[in-house]
């Protein structure tokens, strides 16, 4: 229930287009997008986040990735990695 409330709160923010929660294996467990779009975002962002995580650790083994933000012309994608899940939020960059 706590997860649902948090996702609702995020989704209510101005400019938020979608939220996706994926597990440690990169499998979507919650989404507000259609299936094929979700699978595409989940797979690619899982790979990118794992790469970013290992890059941060390679630079400094004492450090760890806490947040990943990607801004493009169309969207801003924010990834909050946790031990068991990744929260992905897609929003309009101007908001």
Which structure tokens are listed for 6?
């948090």
Burial of 19 (0-12, 13-18, 19+ CB in 10 A): buried
Which structure tokens are listed for 85?
């899940």
Q: Tell me how many helices (H) and strands (E) the chain has.
A: 2, 5
pTM of this structure: 0.90
Query: pLDDT tens-digit profile of 6-60?
Result: 889 998 999 999 999 999 999 999 999 999 999 999 999 999 999 999 999 999 9
Query: pLDDT tens-digit profile of 52-65?
Result: 999 999 999 999 99
| pLDDT band at residue 81 under the 50/70/90 scheme | very high
Q: Strand ranges (DSSP E) for the chain?
A: 16-23, 28-31, 68-71, 76-81, 85-91
CATH code assigned to 2-91: 3.30.450.30
């Amino acid at each position: 229930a706590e997860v649902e409330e948090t996702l609702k709160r995020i989704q209510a923010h101005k400019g938020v287009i979608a939220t996706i929660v994926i597990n440690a294996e990169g499998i979507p467990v919650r989404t507000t997008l259609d299936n094929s779009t979700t699978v595409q975002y989940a797979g690619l962002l899982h790979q990118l986040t794992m790469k970013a995580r290992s890059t941060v650790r390679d630079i400094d083994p004492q450090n760890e990735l806490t947040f990943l933000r990607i801004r493009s012309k169309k969207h801003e994608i924010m990834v909050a990695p946790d031990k068991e899940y990744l929260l992905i939020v897609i929003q309009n960059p101007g908001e």
